[in-house]
Each structure stands twice: as structure tokens, then as C-alpha cells.
Amino acid sequence: MHIDGIAALVTGGGSGLGEATGRELAKRGARVTLLDLGRSRGAEVAADIGSQALFVEGDVTSPEQVGAALEQTLERFGPLRALVNCAGIGSASRTVGKNGVPFDLDVFRRSIEVNLIGTFNCIRLAAAKMIENEVDAGGERGAIVNTASVAAFEGQIGQAAYSASKGGVVGMTLPIARDLARHAVRVCTIAPGLFDTPLLGLMPEEMRQALGASVPFPSRLGDPAEYASLACQIVENAMLNGETIRLDGAIRMQPR
């Protein structure tokens, strides 16, 4: 699929991986809707990109808000051809804390609700729009890129909720790709390792350097632009389908 001229929706587009992806898609000629919470920098990012970007405030767990973002995208930019799901949250808590208190079940539910159900909510609603498209020159109607994490495979101590949510994203990638294959819509997932996102930006510089040094090669934190480049490659490459791709510098996470 040629990116130039297509309409794309990026969730979590106000910062980190989503912002980088929105910027890269626009750089390659796409018209991009950034979906994020009102407290995000989404409006600022869209304004900086220019007329080919639109910010829509919304929560990925809300069918109504995601549906509204899709309608605004179609109205402003035309048929939706690409969706990149970057919205997500983190959590850290042991199953039973040192004080003997069990993991807060509401925290677990919220992680699943945003990272897994929110991702699927966006997929199902965007796919319903994509299958109405005319096929392009390559015979495609759309491409969907999801974001998991290496924690889906090597969750660390305290990551039960986060790993479960991201493992769910990995687990549903192939069946959804198979579901949508007859509609000529592709689905892939990226599983990033340690990336220089706002979450890690809150850590002391010494800790950030230590995390980067733990990556075999390149021994540094990933750049969100590197995620964005792979997301665009997935959109462009018709043979990438049903796959989860690790983007991690060969790291394998230790228990802690």
C-alpha cells in the first residue's frame, strides 16, 4: 500500500510512539487523525504537523468516541486505509505485595480494558470502515498495526496486568488477520522493547542509561522514530500479515 495520500488513524497520537508514527505517516504524505485524551499534547502535535493532521479527543475504550473519530476522519480525509494502535497504559504491582495485600483487581481490569479491549475496540470499528473501501492498486483495502510489548513474552516481576494485556494483543493478532483476510485488510503487531517514551522520561537519567546499556545492540533506548519507521513499513509491505514483530535490539527481559 502506498502511504502517500491515504487517510490514517493513530491512537495515542499525542506523545511517544503514537506521536512519532503520526509525524512519520504525515511526512510520507498521509493525512492523519490523532486520537488521544484531552489532557494529551495531541492538539499541539496536530497543529505542528499542519493541515494534513487532525486531533480528536477520545478514549479508546469508548465505542462512541472512537466511532466519532472515525467519522471525522472520513469526513475530513476520505476513506480510512490505515490504523495504528499506540494508546496504552502501564502498571506495576506484585500479585501479593510485601505488606501481604493482594493486587488491586481494579488496576488489573483497567490495564486489560485500555490495552487489550481498547485496542480491539479500535480494530473492530476501523475494520468495519475499511472493508467498505474500494481495493487499491495492490488489491488492499486497509492495514492495521497494533502495539504489544516484549513484556508479552518476558514479563517482569510486578507486570502481571501489563503482560496479560499485551499478551492478549499478541494472541489476537493472527485470528483477526485471518478474519479480515477475505476483506483484503491486513493486521500485524509490533512488540517494542525499551523505548525512550514519556514513561521512561520520568526516570532518573542514571537509570535510563542503565536500561539502555542492558540492550545487546544497539545498547541504548529505542527511538520512537524507529517504531514509526517499522509501522510504516508494515503499512507498505503487503506480505506482512498476521505477524508480531519484536523491535527490541535483541533484549530478553530478566525477572527484575
pLDDT value, residue 202: 67
The sign of the CA dihedral 170, 175, 179, 182 is positive
* pLDDT band, very low/low/confident/very high, at 245 (cuts 50, 70, 90): very high
pLDDT digits (tens, 9 = 90+) for 225-234: 999 999 999 9
pLDDT at 221 over 70: yes
pLDDT at 65 over 80: yes
pLDDT value, residue 112: 98
pLDDT value, residue 207: 79
Proportion of the chain above pLDDT 70, given as a percent: 100
For the chain, list the domains and their CATH numbers. 7-246 (3.40.50.720)
pLDDT digits (tens, 9 = 90+) for 105-129: 999 999 999 999 999 999 999 999 9
Instruction: Please write down the long-range contacts of 236-242, taking CB distance under 8 Å and 24 or more positions apart.
Output: 236/1, 236/2, 236/3, 238/1, 238/138, 238/139, 238/140, 238/186, 240/186, 240/188, 241/177, 241/181, 241/186, 241/187, 241/188, 242/173, 242/174, 242/177, 242/178, 242/186, 242/187, 242/188
| Closest-CA residue to 159 (of 214, 103, 116) | 103
| Closest-CA residue to 54 (of 85, 95, 8) | 8
pLDDT digits (tens, 9 = 90+) for 186-197: 999 999 999 998
User: Which residues participate in catalysis according to the annotation?
Assistant: 162
